[in-house]
């Protein structure tokens, strides 16, 4: 096992059961770091509580999480003076469950199971990363989105429960937390993605 961030060590210390996941979290960090560095973005999705987690992750990336992420002097010069101290640096992340007009139209007119796949197809580009969240790993719409992402050349990450389900084999990388009950999986997903967001914030932003 390798650790390059104090946040990974802290994760294993706070939630010892997640120590088995730290290598996968590190690998996910590398995929996301390299994508963001090259101008890529993160597309992510899930259902129910996992949709809420997708929103949560995007929120931690698009604005300051544990750092203020102040704008550079040049960035401030391009803005009205009163904005420069308020806007924050962000990393591009799009929760696919956050587009209800398009999603409901596609679900009604075409096929609800393929709604996330359609959004990936419309928004994704080679160099982006797809993150599919499913506690069982068997959410059919998330699996379909992962297949669409791979067809487009995106890197793909699964965040699942212990078994990985059908989603894990469809992805380049799977983070499988050691739980099976839905609520227990969800409880362990949160410290995993908080750790990942902290690692990315440290990589891209100073105080």
Residues near 164 by beta carbon (within 8 Å), at least 6 away in sequence: 137, 158, 174, 176
Q: In the prediction, which pLDDT does 206 show? A: 81
Q: Against a cut of 0.85, is the pTM above it?
A: yes
- Report the DSSP beta bridge partners of residue 45: 132
Confidence of residue 2 (pLDDT cuts 50, 70, 90): low
Distance of alpha carbon 91 from alpha carbon 200, whole angstroms: 9
What is the DSSP-derived secondary structure letter of residue 130?
A: E
Distance of alpha carbon 98 from alpha carbon 55, whole angstroms: 8
> C-alpha 134: how far from its chain's center?
12
Q: What is the mean pLDDT of residues 183-195?
A: 98
Q: At what angle do helices 22-37 and 6-14 cross, to 10 degrees?
A: 150
Within 10 angstroms of residue 12's Cβ, the number of other Cβ atoms is 19
Domain 6-204 maps to which CATH number in 3.60.110.10, 3.40.50.720, 3.40.50.10490, 3.40.50.1820?
3.40.50.10490
């Amino acid at each position: 096992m390798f650790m390059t961030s104090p946040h990974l060590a802290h994760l294993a210390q706070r939630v010892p059961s997640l120590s088995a996941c730290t290598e996968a979290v590190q690998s996910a960090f590398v995929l996301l770091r390299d994508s963001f560095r090259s101008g890529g973005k993160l597309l992510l999705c899930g259902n129910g509580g996992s949709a809420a987690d997708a929103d949560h992750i995007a929120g931690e990336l698009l604005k300051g999480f544990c750092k203020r992420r102040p704008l550079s002097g040049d960035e401030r010069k391009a803005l009205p003076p009163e904005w420069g101290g308020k806007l924050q640096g962000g990393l591009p992340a799009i929760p696919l469950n956050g587009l209800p007009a398009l999603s409901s139209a596609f679900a009604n007119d075409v096929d609800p199971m393929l709604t996330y796949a359609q959004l990936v197809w419309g928004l994704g580009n080679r160099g982006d990363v797809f993150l599919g969240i499913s506690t069982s790993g068997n959410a059919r719409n998330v699996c379909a989105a992962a297949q669409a992402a791979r067809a487009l050349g995106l890197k793909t990450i699964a965040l699942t429960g212990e078994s990985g389900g059908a989603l894990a084999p469809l992805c380049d990388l799977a983070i499988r937390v050691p739980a099976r009950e839905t609520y227990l999986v969800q409880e362990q997903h949160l410290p995993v993605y908080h750790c990942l967001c902290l690692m990315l914030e440290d990589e891209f932003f100073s105080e």
